[in-house]
Amino acid sequence: MSILSGKKILLGVTAGIAAYKTASLVRLFIKSGAEVKVVMTPAAKDFVTPLTLSTLSKNPVVSSFFDEEDENALWNNHVELGLWADVMLIAPATANTLSKMASGNSDNLLLATYLSAKCPVYFAPAMDLDMYNHPSTHETFEKLQEFGNIMIPAESGELASGLVGQGRMAEPENIIDFLEKDILEKLPLKGQTVLITAGPTYEAIDPVRFIGNHSSGKMGIELALTAANLGAQVYLVLGPSSLTVSHGLIDVIPVVSAEDMYQAVIERYENCDIAIASAAVADYRPKHVSDQKIKKADTEFSIELERTKDILKWMGAEKKNQFLVGFALETENEKENAIGKLKKKNLDLIVLNSLNDKGAGFKGQTNKVTLINHKLEIKAFELKTKSEVAKDIFDTINQLKKDE
């Protein structure tokens, strides 16, 4: 899966012959899993039609502040567009538009949106050889990069004038490759390994029955996706779950029992930088497992249980340079119990949630957590989606690691 998956891409198209390539560019963005909106300069519509780009992006294309043919139409809000995007890309970026970007000229919707953007802005120049080599153009490139914009260098080849040299807009495939590499290189967890346990464990009674719990693995999966989107290589040790996850940086290790999970953790723990134990591991398992299905009888039936291995306690005891996070699902004396677990298991951070909070706990799409770090600093969060909770957890981890 591309690092662009789930990203909101705002594509600015200006009036150059290379605008015809934006159809392929939009298609590649969509294929990578990104959401795309397109804003064009009015003159760009002479080179590629809004209908083409809106069909491919599955979003309306805008090119002016308002629809002159509809006096009741709402205006196209450049501020909202600029705030919506995770990434803004201007391609092709003509000499005219680039010079206006450098000077702050805002005479069309695209330029106003550029000045409102809070996200990283990339630009892919496209112009003829002599224009590209002109001193004023190079001055513009330097100024835009001083502003923090990122230039995707033009490629060499045959130009519209018939000249051969630098000035061709980078090919769509190369633009995608440039963006992916640049974004990945700047991610806070690039080069780090994250180990996450998630889901329930099933402890066999016989070939048919087991002891388990209601954990779906949703919270752990969201943590894995968040870590991967921050650039980490993720090992997700996942107990039995109906949920699936697919990401190029996530390696899923399916397990069934607590012992399976313990062995999977042992194999990977030494080389991880961050470990998060979000799994709902069974505390007990049947001491004797029947090889055959146990038949129902008229008499009472009892099962002798024994303790499973305490995976989190082992991780805390073996911790060297790992940043270790545990979860505490409580129903009473929540903070006291969570702090006790934090200390006893030698954790750096514990995620507390309570079954007394509506919307928290197993199976749902939301969670309400309180984070307690090893300094016993406590931060409570409102009810959020599990995806948002995962982001809060990693924001806290990254801040704590930075402060070390």
pLDDT digits (tens, 9 = 90+) for 192-251: 999 999 999 999 999 999 999 989 999 999 999 999 989 999 999 999 999 999 888 899
* pLDDT: which is higher, 3 or 346: 346
pLDDT band at 172 (very low <50, low <70, confident <90, very high): very high
The predicted pLDDT at position 348 comes to 97
Question: Looking at residues 334-342, what average pLDDT do you find?
Answer: 94
Q: Is the pLDDT reported for residue 286 higher than 80?
A: yes
Q: Are residues 210 and 176 in the same domain?
A: no
Q: Which residues contact 12 (CB under 8 A, 6 or more apart)?
A: 38, 39, 40, 88, 89, 90, 91, 93, 110, 113, 114
Q: Are residues 341 and 199 in the same domain?
A: yes
Q: Are residues 175 and 28 in the same domain?
A: yes
Q: Are residues 106 and 236 in the same domain?
A: no
pLDDT in tens, 296-309: 887 888 899 999 99
Q: Are residues 169 and 204 in the same domain?
A: no
d(CA 154, CA 36) in angstroms, rounded, equals 23
Domain extent, residue 178, equals 8-185
Question: Looking at residues 310-330, what average pLDDT do you find?
Answer: 95
Question: Looking at residues 130-151, what average pLDDT do you find?
Answer: 96
Cα distances from 371 to residues 53, 327, 331, 350, 377, in angstroms, run 45, 9, 16, 6, 8
Q: Are residues 227 and 159 in the same domain?
A: no
Q: Are residues 153 and 254 in the same domain?
A: no
Q: Are residues 138 and 211 in the same domain?
A: no
Q: In this structure, are residues 55 and 27 in contact, taking their beta carbons and an 8 Å threshold?
A: no
Q: Are residues 203 and 245 in the same domain?
A: yes
The predicted pLDDT at position 70 comes to 55
Q: What is the CATH number of the domain that holds 371?
A: 3.40.50.10300
Q: Into how many domains does the chain fold?
A: 2
Q: Are residues 96 and 237 in the same domain?
A: no
Boundary residue ending a domain (185, 205, 236): 185
Beta strands in 304-400 (DSSP E): 305-307, 323-330, 349-354, 366-367, 370-373, 378-380, 384-385
Give the least confident one: 151-155, 280-284, 328-332: 328-332
Q: Are residues 57 and 156 in the same domain?
A: yes
pLDDT in tens, 372-393: 999 999 999 999 999 999 999 9
pLDDT in tens, 65-96: 766 555 555 566 788 898 999 999 999 999 99
Q: Are residues 248 and 173 in the same domain?
A: no
d(CA 110, CA 89) in angstroms, rounded, equals 11
349 three-class SS: strand
Assigned token pair, 260: 């399976």
Name the average pLDDT for the chain.
92
* Residue 402: CB atoms within 10 Å: 8
277-290 per-residue burial string, b: 16 or more CB within 10 A, e: under 16: bbbbbbeebbeeee
Name the amino acid, one letter, at 269: Y
Question: Looking at residues 167-185, what average pLDDT do you find?
Answer: 95
- Domain assignment present for residue 72? The answer is yes
pLDDT in tens, 265-275: 999 999 999 99
Q: In this structure, are residues 29 and 179 in contact, taking their beta carbons and an 8 Å threshold?
A: no
Among 65-69, 155-159, 181-185, 306-310, the range with the most confident prediction by mean pLDDT is 306-310
pLDDT in tens, 11-54: 999 999 999 999 999 999 999 999 999 999 999 999 999 999 99
* pLDDT: which is higher, 316 or 159: 316
The predicted pLDDT at position 247 comes to 86
Question: Looking at residues 118-138, what average pLDDT do you find?
Answer: 95
Boundary residue ending a domain (142, 160, 185): 185
Q: In this structure, are residues 57 and 39 in contact, taking their beta carbons and an 8 Å threshold?
A: no
Question: Looking at residues 303-317, what average pLDDT do you find?
Answer: 96
The predicted pLDDT at position 300 comes to 85
Beta bridge partners of 195: 235, 275
Active site residues: 213
- Domain assignment present for residue 2? The answer is no
pLDDT > 90 in the chain, percent: 80
Boundary residue ending a domain (144, 164, 185): 185
Q: Is the pLDDT reported for residue 356 higher than 90?
A: no
